[in-house]
Structure 1
């Protein structure tokens, strides 16, 4: 049994709350070293500085926020998080610089507005994601939000499923666009209509990224909204009881169980768990998803949703409060004021159609825009080395620099309106770089006897009917060569693509070896290389780089 499995066997993650509250009173240093990791079950990750600061993640089911919840999060970030809050790719909020002595106050504030950190991290069911426009769009097949809420409530604080082999991610979408990125989740429910007119979901299982990515596999199972919590509970029980998955953390995700036994055997076991045969699925390819940026129609034509880009997913607390103020000013519903997206952005729903032009003139819209540049729009980043102990490189501030550089030097010319550039600080893929048109992964490279920040670059990732993980086409690009290398990639596209061919289509028909040959680095002499290393070694302390992103 691994050390982590031993710790979980001795103390359930949900049982660490009393120790957390005691440490809030007596000091973080009094925590048992074995139990620091268990704080993840309550949304808390220790900073890489090891000085008593934590990142706190708060669940937001399918990214839907009330006015009170948005204002509460803004207040917590302002008072306890140095005025900064991050949007995640799972429609959550993260706040850094949290100290344990403030946790009782923070938890009380969250509880008052119906929010929780329970299960936000750890080997447990995570935040249930879904369509950002659930309940708003014209083309909704089934109410995915209601199903997501039911699943969330079913598993919240449920100790039957609080010790899983590894993290467990659930996606539910009821829209025709299939925009909840189900293919990279452990469990994916996607809205369909059966032959008899019954509305429900197809089930796919075993998606995930990191070092051994998999797309979720077809289970040939159809479930109604009423059946969904029970069926997901059965599948989760199978995963919980899979002892083989507990032997090594690197082989612990559900995708490896699917690899071993296959979808058909899993379906048979699932039917045993629920005690009846399950209806077969409705043939339908997965959709590519949407980013929901811009002024969008709602099912009720009197209203619009305005999707705004949050640069690298980082908000000032004051900006979040301003968003809540704008929602209130323009008549948003108290219980549905803001929506968070899978691409770390934010939406304002329920804006009266006649008020849209006035909203777009508000000063905040100059910073959080519905009309972003090409490289702002699809930019995703993880936390990076600023706070994360796994990351090899800084991501947030460097991504701002990259997008600015590319927007200055690359002329938009058919790249695709939703071109995706994702930047991950390590192989864990929190920024989902394997499904990006261009994905960057932070690594280290030894140059002139020193380790420097470098990047592997992938090209050609995509979701949809013919999904594909991006191929690594060039490895260990030194940080000082990254911008130029990216510019060469787009120059190659400009030079060789066909009429009307997007970057995604071009990458889909282009062999990785072609990119590798074309991007082969130019050798530098020793003196010039040493100068490059020295120039790249500028201080990159977490505080100064964070301020750069906030500006």
Structure 2
């Protein structure tokens, strides 16, 4: 076990003045712990996983109506469950009805896969649960989890028991806690790897997340740890990230970033300028989480993310307080890692550093089914594969193949609709859950994204450069709208005939990586869902016709293109 947490400091008046928010925000070490809103009161009364016992002892036996509202939301988030949207509610009702009015008697359940690591046996169990209890639904997420739908409260104990047989669970899948830890999907095998982060991810998952001190944070907390040169975990938009870095004196380790996040107030993470060795990553991670716990803003939910604290403090103060109060020693200065210039994902066939191969395939927008998960587990085991990984781009990767088995597996996966050679359009399109299940959504996204990929392939064939397309059902940017080449934010819009219909606000030219930037919002420009295919085809054709060279990226063209070519 890791060491016990240090006792909270008693701050001097000077220290409080140095660390307080511009206005009182409910910072525990500044303003005290008196709850300032209903969510904070509920968490103080009973935060953590105690609700799991009530599910087993009461709710699964007595049914949905036995669940009190304060357990249903927010406490069920701590066990990885949200009520899903009623099927008879359209997007117009999202802004006018309460969550209680919009919710169904069924749940979305999020199965946590830290580092995206899953075995064929685990995949088979998840597939069986999907088939037996979730109407065969299953979706890979951009946080490397698997989500199921149509879960009844009566079935939850058996689902948990089945997951436990293969060392899986749903705990801390949602809620004001450290969420799943993103990790490189090819950790331990990639030729591009600087250092394998798996030991740090495992230590955090097994020895730190079980502690009561992390059960009540101001809001959700997102972590990414990757030692791969491809920087394959979207570190620029996480609360805390550790990215592979070669120190000229100390060797392989990690560069530390804090304060990223999207939603309605997007901010890029910032480097602290420190290099962290592998064995110190869990300790430093815990220090960052504790700062968030003690100084994060709890008064208003829409300002209760770490990014707001980092923006107000600045990275120099954040580093100083992390070192002095939470780590207990000066961190090592580190050089900024080189930015990976190409694709960050792992689609296709790649040789591993041990001479074997891995195959990365893309289910369109991450959609799959329980029966298919069972078949994929069978395909893997028949070829001696013991490791499968999910990715932040909703892909699936099969590790450890002998060379003579690669083509056979790729062909079998192609028959499943999972291509190792997808078009650029299918490779780079993602969406959120959308109106089908989400109570916050205004428009349909997942099926709309699948249809859009089909139409782009039919009308344009393929594209010779990456083109990230994101469809999001609301402003919260679960599908990373602001950092996509073509970001589409769901809205109810008025069509040419005056009808209120599903549509999208358009953002163009967003990016992570070499030149991170937010997408350019086209003032007053919205497109209906029905007109989306024609619009995207038109913009991509304008780009192909007017780019200065085959190497000019879409985002660079957007910056100089006249407005009429973007409409």
TM-score if structure 2 supplies the norm length? Answer: 0.87
Deviation at 1:215, TM superposition (A): 1.1
**Residue 492 (structure 2) aligned to one of 410, 425, 444:** 444
1:300 maps to what in 2?
A: 354
Counterpart mapping for 1:308-327 below 5 A: 308-327=361-380
Residues 349-379 of structure 1, C-alpha deviations (whole Å, 9 max, x = no match): 1111111122233265451111112211111
Equivalent in the alignment of 2:393: 343
- SS of 2:191's partner is coil
Asked if residue 495 in structure 1 is aligned to residue 531 in structure 2, the reply is no
The correspondence of residues 169-184 of structure 1 with structure 2, limited to 5 A, is 169-184=222-237
The corresponding residue for 1:78 is 131
Contact 1:13–1:162 (Cα < 8 Å) also in 2: yes
How many Å apart are 1:505 and its aligned residue?
Answer: 5.0
2:27 aligned partner? none
> Displacement of 1:519 after TM fit?
4.3
How far 1:422 moved relative to its partner?
Answer: 1.2
Instruction: Report the equivalent of 1:252.
Output: 304
Name the residue aligned to 1:266.
318
Report deviation, 1:276: 1.1
CA distance in 2: counterparts of 1:248 and 1:27, whole angstroms: 33
Cα 1:519/1:194, change in 2 over 3 Å: closer
Report the counterpart of residue 375 of structure 1 in structure 2. 425
What residue number does 2:29 align with? none
Q: Using a 3 Å threshold, how does the CA distance of structure 1 residues 498 and 411 change in structure 2: closer, same or farther?
A: farther
Could you tell me whether the CA contact under 8 Å between 1:14 and 1:157 is conserved in 2? no
- Matching residue within 441, 444, 447 for 1:391: 441
| Distance in structure 1 (CA, Å) of the matches to 2:402 and 2:469 | 33
Match of 1:40 among 77, 80, 83: 77
Shift of 1:3: 1.6
Distance 2:340 2:64 in 1: 45
Structure 1, unaligned stretches of length 5 or more? 521-551
Where does 1:435-514 land on structure 2 (aligned, <5 Å)? 435-446=483-494, 450-473=499-522, 475-504=525-554, 506-507=556-557, 509-510=559-560, 514=562
Equivalent-residue separation in structure 1 for 2:566 and 2:284 (angstroms): 48
Q: How large is the Cα RMSD of the aligned pairs? A: 1.7
1:536 is matched with none
CA distance in 2, matches of 1:257, 1:507: 35
Distance 1:106-1:411 versus aligned 2 partners, 3 A rule: closer
* Aligned position for 1:157: 210
Task: Name which of structure 1's ranges 433-442 and 55-64 shifts more when overlaid on structure 2.
Answer: 433-442
String of CA shifts for 1:45-95, please: whole Å, max 9, x gaps. 101123310000011011111122111111111101111210000111000
- The structure-2 alpha-carbon separation of the partners of 1:449 and 1:5, relative to structure 1 and needing over 3 Å to count, comes to farther
- Once the two structures are superposed, what CA deviation does each residue of 1:153-186 show, in whole Å capped at 9, x if it has no partner? 2332321011111110000011111111111110
TM-superposed deviation, 1:309: 1.1
Please state how far the C-alpha of 1:192 moved relative to its aligned partner. Answer: 1.0
Query: Per the alignment, in what secondary structure is the counterpart of residue 230 of structure 2?
Result: coil
Give matches, 1:215-294, under 5 Å: 215-242=268-295, 245-272=297-324, 273-287=326-340, 290-294=344-348
Contact 2:547 2:557 in 1 (8 A): no
Instruction: Pick the aligned partner of 1:93 from 146, 170, 185.
Output: 146
- 3-state SS of 1:126 partner: strand
Q: TM-score, normalised by structure 1?
A: 0.89
Q: Are the aligned partners of 2:363 and 2:394 in contact in 1 as well (CA < 8 Å)?
A: yes
Q: Aligned-pair distance for 1:18?
A: 2.2
Measured after TM superposition, the shift of residue 413 of structure 1 is: 4.8
Matched position secondary structure for 1:332: coil
Partners of 1:35 and 1:13 lie apart in 2 by: 11
**Is the alpha carbon distance of 1:179 and 1:486 closer, same or farther for their aligned partners in structure 2, counting shifts above 3 Å?**
same
User: Is the contact between residue 285 and residue 464 of structure 1 (CA under 8 Å) also seen in structure 2?
Assistant: no
Distance 1:356 1:413, change over 3 A: closer
Aligned length: 510
Counterpart position of 1:531: none
Aligned mates of 1:175, 1:396 — CA distance in 2: 30
* Alignment partner of 1:191 is 2:244: yes
1:219–1:281 contact (8 Å) kept in structure 2 = no
Distance in 2 (alpha carbons) for counterparts of 1:296 and 1:71: 25
Structure 2, unaligned stretches of length 5 or more? 1-35, 87-102
CA distance in 1, matches of 2:188, 2:229: 13
